[in-house]
């Protein structure tokens, strides 16, 4: 038995879902959803849990991660309850729930908090540069070190514990019995979904978005690899330099299209942008653009006279690595993949 | 004088002629006694055949017509009208049904179907030979209507009748008119309160010269029939009781409903503190100021349990009370409006805020009310919980899982039940349905008439209705009652029963059999005999078979006519 908790609905509104109270449970959303199945039926069931404030079941549910937001549910909702945005908000709420630091929740709910955090990180970068007397060589070397440390640190301190919490909430706490072998056998599912987002292809008319997203993921991971492990900015290898140019350009083009979509609001998925959505696409765009420009300035040998550009790039990078990756929308990438993995674990 | 009959046999475009050999039927009956004309036709009901019949009747001076075609339900009145247009009294028309009773029923046996059709037509001819011209019974009708009940339906009907220049007696049991309007606050979907609505109606009543308003009045005596009802009305006033006789042409009953009273313990009613009914809650809300307080408890959350006394899974009241979903949602919105911080929980069986009322349901969802849809099998269980009240129910919308709400106040959304006072229904012998509300003749085709000629029903005495629907039915009943009295006289169907006084020895059997109270005893030269009220008799024939001396005949269905038909058919 669960007790109705109207406060939950009010809390969820801060994560972006404002209309779901209008739902009269007709189930049109579930009927039109091309990913909903008999076993994993949504979004209506999630709307209902949100309305009655059944926090425990929501925390244990993987369904929000099974949705790829094609928006058909919201387009067809006769009450304009916007179930698609509810699913998105539930993902935000879950990310906050999984996060042991509690910072995700703050940043999702408060734009002011996010801006303060972003500004603080930028100031940190400038202060560090001033401390190093704007010596470009030292700063760039530190920047490279920072990238590696940040990735390792964020994973070790934030993301891995959070994944463990997600595992606890969705598998252990609900008392699901999973054999060790099952964990091994299902790993394939995890990797496939992490790198291909295969499930999103199940959404109707989603091929273009899926393809763009696929290119973006591959491009982003390649850029990460190129800058961190191949030391793009320091490399002399023509292969590495060209690869870096190509992938940063790819990121730039794809994210530009995503930003444009959010500005135009012509698709359901891009109609209801929360600050976290904006930060994600804009910072991704900035990363691509600034990385491209930095390398270009290096090749043109004018970076020494335009130190600001590298500092700008480093600030964007630091904000990305310290705020958006651990506490923002980036974690979608991780949680979704694990959700698919955990979902596979419990399939008999 | 010997009858001159014209016979028409219809093919019904093949519906009949595909199975019944209509030419053979024609040949078999054309030489029957009195038949001077026999024809087959593709469509008897078609305009060209109707014109042919008209010409035939006039040219051949026909004194009787038989059409063998479909069911008389479909076209009896069509061919009666043709006869009348051609100058032939319509009761000389006899109908034979050779479609439903021959061609359709025996499509597997064409020979048999044809033989049966021949017999049916011959039987109709036998009846037509004996048919007599009849004239409608004309009675005088008083240009006045008694409207019983001064609620919204009665008030609106009285105003409507008065404006059609009928004299109206508006009889109200209570000391003031308005009925349940006094208890209603906001009436959806307009934002009009019961009080405001009543003010408008009272103002109208004052301006109507044709209305005699009688408050503190109850009808205690009734006699007469359509056009001429006599009512005895008891009036209790400050100087004691008085009685008044009124004489009206029609009676419009609009006696309203009672709110269902839950049994002790039904959802905790009368057993758990802070469990009240919707009317009680309305009163509480009306009398509350800055804070909503009940039993010294500040109310922060309210649970509404719907369908209390309606749509009962285990009780007698299977019907939906129609108004309560809307009334409950409206009440909860009024709460939100006055006390925005209060949380509402609605335990429903499915919300029925139909039509324009749907908008308030949407509004209610928008302001954050939570709806739980319980199952008949798992109705809400109301228990005390830590100074508040716990309501648990299986929620259909949450995969039937049990769900609980904690509230400070529980409001039972009680439905409508018939008026406790059943004396009026008994007095008029108004039939009731299984739901114990008064019954109309036909829900769709004759929705405000009762089987008692001249008595109409309006508003919630007929069954649950909201204000709008009550007013609709009141206007409709007023129009119907007006049609009974407007001409000053009424034409009644002449096919009724009559008594042969010479052979009747009053035994009461016919009187007991009569469903319409049309038989009474009179003295006929020292002998008690039965007599039939021509205005009340409907010609149903119930009195005929019970008469031990065979002294009652039904006009147009006399023993002689029926026997002549049977003779043909049994040959």
Residues 6+ apart with CB under 8 A from A215: A250, A254
Which phi and psi angles does B163 have, rounded to 5°? -70, -15
Cβ pairs A/B, distance under 8 A: 54
CA-based angle A11:A14:A16, to the nearest 5?
120
Contact between A246 and A225 (Cβ < 8 Å): no
Q: What is the ipTM of this complex?
A: 0.87
Contact between B19 and B103 (Cβ < 8 Å): yes
Q: C-alpha distances in angstroms, A284 versus A219, A267, A296, B187, B324?
A: 11, 20, 18, 56, 56
Higher-pLDDT residue of A36 and B517 is: A36
Helix (H) or strand (E) holding B231: strand B228-237
Q: Are A22 and B365 an interchain contact pair (Cβ–Cβ within 8 Å)?
A: yes
Residues 6+ apart with CB under 8 A from B60: B4, B6, B36, B37
- The whole-number average pLDDT for the span A62-81 is 92
Q: HSE on the CB side for B435, CA within 13 Å?
A: 24
Question: Between B351, B362, B404, which is nearest A79 by CB?
Answer: B362
Residues 6+ apart with CB under 8 A from A178: A171, A345, A346
Residue of A nearest to B400 (CA): A1
Q: Are B372 and A4 an interchain contact pair (Cβ–Cβ within 8 Å)?
A: yes
The verdict on A23 touching B (C-beta cutoff 8 Å) is yes
Residue A286 has a pLDDT of: 92
Question: Between B343, B365, B395, which is nearest A21 by CB?
Answer: B365
- The whole-number average pLDDT for the span A119-148 is 89
Helix (H) or strand (E) holding B522: strand B519-524
Q: Are A3 and B405 an interchain contact pair (Cβ–Cβ within 8 Å)?
A: yes
Q: Locate tokens 């009787």: which residue?
A: B64
Q: Are A3 and B345 an interchain contact pair (Cβ–Cβ within 8 Å)?
A: no
The verdict on A24 touching B (C-beta cutoff 8 Å) is yes
Q: Which residues pair with B94 in a beta bridge?
A: B66
Distance from CA of A21 to the nearest CA of B (A): 6
Chain B residues within 8 A of A51 when measuring between CB atoms: 370
Q: Hey, is A192 helix, strand or coil?
A: helix
Reference B82, options B109, B44, B37; nearest CA is B44
In tens digits, chain B (571 residues) has pLDDT values of 789 999 999 999 999 999 999 999 999 999 999 999 999 999 999 999 999 999 999 999 999 999 999 999 999 999 999 999 999 999 999 999 999 999 999 999 999 999 999 999 999 999 999 999 999 999 999 999 999 999 999 999 999 999 999 999 999 999 999 999 998 888 887 888 999 999 999 999 999 999 999 999 999 999 888 999 999 999 998 888 999 999 999 999 999 999 999 999 999 999 999 999 999 999 999 999 889 999 999 999 999 999 999 999 888 899 999 999 999 999 999 999 999 999 999 999 999 999 999 999 999 999 999 999 999 888 999 999 999 999 999 999 998 999 999 999 999 999 999 999 899 999 998 999 999 999 999 999 899 999 888 999 999 999 999 999 999 999 999 999 999 999 999 988 899 999 999 999 999 999 999 988 899 999 998 899 999 998 889 899 999 999 999 999 999 999 999 999 999 999 7
Q: Are A1 and B404 an interchain contact pair (Cβ–Cβ within 8 Å)?
A: yes
| DSSP code string of B383-438 | EEETTEEEEEEEEGGGTTEEEEEEESEEEEEE-EEE-S--HHHHHHT--B-TTSSB
Residues 38-57, chain A, touching B (beta carbon < 8 A): 45, 48-49, 51-52, 54
Residue of A nearest to B368 (CA): A21
- What domains does chain B contain, in order, with CATH numbers? 5-130 (3.40.50), 144-256+419-489 (3.50.50.60), 259-413 (3.50.50.60), 495-555 (3.30.70.3270)
Contact between A293 and A109 (Cβ < 8 Å): no
Which among B361, B383, B397 is the top mutation candidate for probing chain A, defined by the most A β-carbons within 10 Å of its own β-carbon?
B397
> Omega into A43 within 30° of 0, i.e. cis?
yes
What is the C-alpha separation between B499 and B514, in angstroms, rounded?
A: 14
What is the C-alpha separation between A161 and A170, in angstroms, rounded?
A: 14
Helix A275-300 to helix A238-264 angle (10° resolution) is 150
Residues 72-131, chain A, touching B (beta carbon < 8 A): 79
Reference B481, options B457, B464, B465, B501; nearest CA is B457
Q: Are A2 and B403 an interchain contact pair (Cβ–Cβ within 8 Å)?
A: yes
Residue of B nearest to A9 (CA): B368
Question: Between A1, A51, A79, which is nearest B370 by CB?
Answer: A51
Q: Are B368 and A9 an interchain contact pair (Cβ–Cβ within 8 Å)?
A: yes
> Omega into B533 within 30° of 0, i.e. cis?
no
Q: Which residues pair with B302 in a beta bridge?
A: B344, B409
What are the tokens at A259?
Answer: 């930003």
What is the C-alpha separation between B261 and A276, in angstroms, rounded?
A: 55
Chain A residues within 8 A of B343 when measuring between CB atoms: 6
Residue A266 has a pLDDT of: 80
Question: Between B343, B366, B402, which is nearest A22 by CB?
Answer: B366
Residue A348 has a pLDDT of: 66
pLDDT band at A51 (very low <50, low <70, confident <90, very high): very high
Residue of B nearest to A44 (CA): B397
Distance from CA of A172 to the nearest CA of B (A): 22
Q: Are A1 and B365 an interchain contact pair (Cβ–Cβ within 8 Å)?
A: no
Q: Are B365 and A24 an interchain contact pair (Cβ–Cβ within 8 Å)?
A: yes
pLDDT band at A228 (very low <50, low <70, confident <90, very high): confident
Distance from CA of A72 to the nearest CA of B (A): 21
Which among B365, B399, B407 is the top mutation candidate for probing chain A, defined by the most A β-carbons within 10 Å of its own β-carbon?
B365
Alpha-helix runs per DSSP H in B248-356: 278-286, 324-338
Helix (H) or strand (E) holding B492: strand B489-492
Which among A1, A4, A81 is the top mutation candidate for probing chain B, defined by the most B β-carbons within 10 Å of its own β-carbon?
A4
The full set of domain ranges for chain A reads 6-98, 103-345
Residue A177 has a pLDDT of: 87
Residue of B nearest to A8 (CA): B368
Distance from CA of B325 to the nearest CA of A (A): 15
Chain A residues within 8 A of B406 when measuring between CB atoms: 3-4
Contact between B389 and B272 (Cβ < 8 Å): yes
Q: Are A3 and B403 an interchain contact pair (Cβ–Cβ within 8 Å)?
A: yes
Chain A residues within 8 A of B381 when measuring between CB atoms: none
Question: Between B345, B351, B361, which is nearest A4 by CB?
Answer: B345
Helix (H) or strand (E) holding B528: strand B527-532
Q: Are A4 and B397 an interchain contact pair (Cβ–Cβ within 8 Å)?
A: no
pLDDT band at A227 (very low <50, low <70, confident <90, very high): confident
Question: Between A1, A21, A45, which is nearest B402 by CB?
Answer: A1
What is the C-alpha separation between B72 and B78, in angstroms, rounded?
A: 9
Does residue A140 surpass a pLDDT of 90? no
Q: Are B398 and A48 an interchain contact pair (Cβ–Cβ within 8 Å)?
A: yes
Distance from CA of B74 to the nearest CA of A (A): 43
The verdict on A6 touching B (C-beta cutoff 8 Å) is yes
Question: Between A22, A23, A52, which is nearest B398 by CB?
Answer: A52
What is the C-alpha separation between A293 and B347, in angstroms, rounded?
A: 62
Interface residues of chain B, partner chain A, Cβ below 8 Å: 343, 345, 351, 361-362, 365-368, 370-373, 392, 395, 397-399, 401-406
Residue B378 has a pLDDT of: 85
Question: Between B361, B373, B406, which is nearest A3 by CB?
Answer: B406
Chain A residues within 8 A of B397 when measuring between CB atoms: 25, 48
Chain A residues within 8 A of B365 when measuring between CB atoms: 21-24, 79
The verdict on A22 touching B (C-beta cutoff 8 Å) is yes
Chain A residues within 8 A of B402 when measuring between CB atoms: 1-2
Chain A residues within 8 A of B367 when measuring between CB atoms: 21
**Class for domain A6-98, per CATH?**
mainly alpha
Residues 6+ apart with CB under 8 A from B383: B268, B272, B389, B390, B392
What is the C-alpha separation between B174 and B186, in angstroms, rounded?
A: 23
Distance from CA of B445 to the nearest CA of A (A): 34
């Amino acid at each position: 038995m669960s007790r109705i908790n109207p406060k939950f609905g009010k809390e969820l509104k801060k994560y972006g879902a404002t209309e779901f109270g209008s739902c009269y449970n007709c189930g049109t959303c579930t009927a039109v959803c091309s990913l909903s199945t008999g076993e994993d039926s949504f979004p209506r069931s999630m709307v209902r849990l949100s309305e009655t404030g059944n926090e425990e079941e929501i925390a244990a549910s993987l369904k929000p991660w099974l949705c790829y937001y094609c928006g058909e549910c919201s387009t067809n909702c006769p009450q304009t309850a916007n179930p698609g945005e509810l699913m998105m908000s539930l993902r935000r709420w879950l990310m906050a729930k999984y996060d042991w630091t509690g910072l995700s929740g703050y940043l999702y709910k408060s734009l002011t908090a996010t801006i303060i955090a972003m500004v603080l990180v930028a100031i940190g970068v400038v202060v560090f540069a001033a401390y190093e007397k704007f010596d470009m060589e030292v700063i760039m070397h530190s920047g490279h070190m920072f990238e590696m440390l940040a990735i390792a640190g964020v994973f070790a301190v934030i993301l891995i514990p959070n994944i463990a919490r997600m595992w606890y909430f969705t598998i252990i706490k609900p008392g699901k019995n999973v054999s060790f072998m099952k964990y091994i056998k299902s790993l394939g599912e995890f990797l496939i979904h992490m790198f291909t987002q295969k499930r999103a292809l199940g959404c109707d008319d989603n091929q273009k978005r899926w393809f763009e997203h696929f290119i973006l993921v591959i491009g982003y991971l390649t850029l990460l690899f190129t800058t961190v492990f191949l030391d793009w900015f320091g490399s002399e290898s023509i292969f590495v330099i060209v690869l870096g140019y190509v992938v940063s350009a790819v990121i730039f083009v794809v994210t530009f299209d995503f930003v444009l979509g959010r500005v135009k609001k012509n698709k359901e998925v891009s109609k209801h942008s929360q600050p976290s959505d904006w930060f994600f696409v804009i910072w991704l765009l900035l990363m691509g653009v600034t990385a491209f420009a930095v390398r270009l300035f290096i090749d043109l040998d004018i970076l020494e006279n335009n130190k600001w550009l590298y500092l700008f790039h480093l600030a964007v990078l630091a904000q990305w690595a310290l705020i958006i990756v651990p506490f923002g929308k980036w974690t979608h990438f991780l949680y979704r993949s694990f959700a698919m993995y955990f979902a596979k674990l419990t399939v008999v | 004088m010997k009858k001159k009959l014209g016979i028409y046999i219809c093919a019904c475009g093949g519906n009949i002629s595909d199975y019944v050999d209509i030419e053979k039927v024609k040949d078999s009956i054309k030489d029957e006694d009195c038949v001077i004309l026999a024809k087959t036709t593709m469509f008897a009901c078609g305009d060209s055949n109707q014109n042919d019949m008209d010409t035939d009747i006039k040219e051949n001076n026909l004194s009787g017509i038989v059409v063998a075609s479909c069911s008389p339900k479909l076209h009896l009145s069509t061919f009666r009208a043709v006869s009348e247009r051609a100058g032939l009294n319509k009761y000389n028309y006899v109908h034979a049904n050779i479609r439903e009773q021959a061609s359709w029923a025996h499509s597997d046996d064409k020979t048999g179907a044809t033989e049966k059709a021949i017999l049916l037509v011959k039987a109709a001819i036998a009846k037509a030979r004996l048919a007599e011209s009849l004239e409608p019974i004309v009675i005088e009708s008083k240009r006045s209507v008694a409207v019983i009940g001064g609620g919204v339906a009665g008030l609106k009907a009285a105003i409507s009748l008065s404006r059609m220049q009928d004299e109206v007696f508006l009889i109200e049991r209570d000391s003031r008119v308005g009925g349940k309007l006094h208890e209603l606050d906001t009436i959806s979907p307009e934002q009009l309160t019961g009080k405001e609505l009543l003010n408008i109606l009272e103002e109208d009543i004052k301006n109507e010269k044709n209305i005699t308003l009688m408050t503190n009045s109850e009808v205690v005596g009734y006699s007469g029939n359509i056009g001429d009802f006599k009512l005895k009305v008891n009036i209790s006033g400050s100087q004691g009781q008085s009685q008044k006789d009124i004489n009206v042409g029609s009676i419009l009953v609009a006696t309203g409903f009672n709110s269902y009273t839950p049994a002790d313990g039904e959802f905790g009613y009368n057993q758990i503190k802070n469990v009240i009914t919707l009317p009680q809650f309305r009163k509480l809300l009306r009398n509350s100021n800055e804070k909503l307080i009940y039993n010294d408890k500040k109310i922060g959350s309210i649970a509404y349990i719907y369908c209390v006394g309606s749509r009962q899974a285990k009780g007698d009241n299977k019907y939906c009370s129609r108004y309560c979903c809307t009334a409950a949602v409206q009440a909860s919105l009024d709460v939100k409006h006055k006390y925005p911080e209060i949380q509402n929980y609605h335990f429903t069986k499915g919300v029925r805020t139909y039509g324009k009322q749907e908008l308030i349901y949407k509004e209610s969802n928008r302001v954050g009310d939570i709806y739980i849809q319980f199952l008949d099998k798992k109705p809400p269980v109301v228990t005390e919980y830590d100074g508040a009240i716990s309501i648990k129910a299986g929620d259909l919308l949450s995969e039937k899982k049990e769900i609980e709400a904690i509230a400070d106040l529980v409001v039972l959304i009680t439905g409508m039940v018939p008026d406790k006072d059943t004396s009026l229904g008994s007095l008029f012998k108004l039939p009731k349905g299984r739901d114990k509300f008064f019954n109309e003749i036909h829900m769709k085709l004759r929705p405000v008439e009762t089987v008692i000629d001249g008595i109409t029903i309006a508003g919630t005495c007929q069954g649950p209705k909201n204000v709008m629907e009550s007013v609709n039915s009141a206007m409709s009943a007023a129009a119907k009652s007006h049609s009974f009295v407007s001409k000053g006289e009424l034409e009644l169907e002449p096919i009724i029963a009559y008594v042969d006084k010479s052979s009747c020895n009053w035994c009461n059997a016919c009187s007991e059999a009569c469903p319409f109270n049309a038989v009474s005893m009179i003295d006929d030269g020292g002998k008690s005999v039965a007599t039939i009220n021509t205005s009340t008799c409907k010609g149903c024939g119930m009195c005929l078979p019970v008469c031990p001396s065979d002294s009652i005949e039904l006009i147009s269905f006399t023993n002689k006519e029926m026997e002549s038909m049977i003779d043909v058919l049994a040959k």
